[in-house]
Structure 1
Amino acid sequence: MQITHYGHSCVLLDTGSTRLLLDPGTLSEGFEGVTGLDAVLITHQHFDHLDTERLPALMRGNPGARLIVDSGSAAQLGGLDHEVATPGQTLDVAGTRVEVLGGDHAVLHPDIPMIPNNAYLVDGTHLHPGDAFTPASGPVEVLFVPAGAPWLKVGEAIDYLRAVAPRTAVPIHQAVLSAPGQQFHFQLLENLGPKQTTMRVLTPGEATTL
């Protein structure tokens, strides 16, 4: 699988036959010119995962792509053609299996209403949890692990990484941290994560095979 990280939670997964873009949000850059997509997948409605200003142009540039969203994002799409996916579904996207996991966004504060959050497991190997510590349904090769967020303590991210125990962990959701803060959290994840897990911090905009 070839992976390109466009910052924060936005990643492009290219299987060689299928191209999937996940969570093109306002804190991500460079995804605007991506073409040849088979689907754009949105985990949830928050602005850092769903940029409603740039999404229409992205879809126009990819006229054959499906827009797959959680139930909470559907009302924000301004008439764009889309399909709502719910946890428990398994989708076939151009021959690639996408399992929809999850259910709810992680708790920010008890006074803030809960919203839906989809996690997406691609071909049973690459798991993007969105904004939640969604457990895997089986062994995972690559986990996109949230590294920093208002809803996250780094100790919780470490415990999540240990529970999933992937072959490779790619930190995402880091834009809310300063540059030194990012390096500190990445180091903690690497040092305290499972011994069998390799941490890979991807250079934004560069395709990497994992």
Structure 2
Amino acid sequence: MRLTKYEHSCVLVEDGGSRVLLDPGAYSHGFEQLTGLTAVLVTHQHADHADIDRLRRLLDRNPEAALYADAGTAAVLAEAGIAAAVVQPGDRLDVGTTVEVHGGHHAVIHPDVPVIPNVGYLVGGRFFHPGDSFTIPDVDVEILGLPTGAPWLKAGEAVDYMRAVTPHVAVPIHEAVLANPATHYGLFDRLAPDESELRVVAPGDTIEL
């Protein structure tokens, strides 16, 4: 399995013959020219996870790619003339590799802010992308996309989430809102479970796991 990070929460997962892109959003760059995608997965409707204009152009470049999203995102996309297949927790997809759908709800930002749908995706039985949630799948997670900074998240909560999931490898994501995410990375590395290795992936870089 190969992971390529396109800033913030956008990750390309290559597993066997599949090329699965997750959360191509407003704070991510470099994904726009990708071709040969088998699927695009969106965790929730916020613009930093689904940039509608660039998503439209991406799908034009990848006419064979299946688009999956939670019900809330699918409704927003439909208003923009983009059709997405709706997924919910418990679904299992075949996009050239397996994708299991987990979660259900976005993390609470503030009691006065409505909670929206948010799904997490376990790709190839190995890499889990939680979107903006603290979802803990009821299966072992080998590689975790670890949210790093957000209005709904403080560093200690990210550490607790990593400890709860206890992946073999934690790859920080969702860092574009931070001026210096390295501060958080140092904390994660210092406080990670003994079983977990932190692997920071620079924008545009690829790691093989």
Give the TM bin, normalised by the shorter chain.
over 0.9
- AA aligned to 2:195 is Q
Structure 1: unaligned runs, 5 residues or longer: none
Q: Partners in 2 of 1:133 and 1:2 — Cα distance?
A: 24
Which position in structure 1 is the counterpart of 2:81? 79
Match of 2:116 in 1: 115
Offset at residue 138 of structure 1 (A): 1.8
Tell me, yes or no, if structure 1 residue 69 matches structure 2 residue 73: no
1:45-99 per-position Cα deviation (integer Å, ceiling 9, x unaligned): 00000001111110000010001011111122212232010111111112x1111
> What is the 5 A alignment of 1:122-201?
122-179=123-180, 182-201=181-200
Secondary structure of the residue aligned to 1:35 is coil
Aligned partner of 2:27 in structure 1 is 27
* Residue in structure 2 matched with residue 92 of structure 1 by the alignment: 94
Residue by residue over 1:119-172, the C-alpha shift from the partner in whole angstroms, topping out at 9 and shown as x without a partner, is 001122110000001102222110000000000011111011011111100000
Partner of 1:33, secondary structure, is coil
Equivalent in the alignment of 1:41 = 41
Query: What is the distance in 2 between the residues matched to 1:103 and 1:76?
Result: 17
Work out the CA distance in 1 between the residues paired with 2:45 and 2:175: 18
Q: Match of 1:49, SS?
A: coil
SS in 2 for 1:31: coil
1:64 maps to a residue whose letter is: E
Equivalent position of 2:2 in the other structure: 2
Structure 2: 5+ residue runs without aligned partners? none
Partner of 1:204: 203
Give the match for residue 56 of structure 1: 56
Q: Counterpart of 2:149 in 1: which secondary structure? A: coil
Q: Which residue identity is paired with 2:12? A: L
In 2, Cα distance between the equivalents of 1:22 and 1:157?
20
Aligned residues: 207
| Cα RMSD (Å) | 0.8
CA displacement at 1:32 relative to structure 2: 0.1
Over the matched positions of the two proteins, sequence identity in percent amounts to 55
1:124 maps to amino acid: G
Q: Which runs of 4+ in 1 moved over 6 A?
A: none
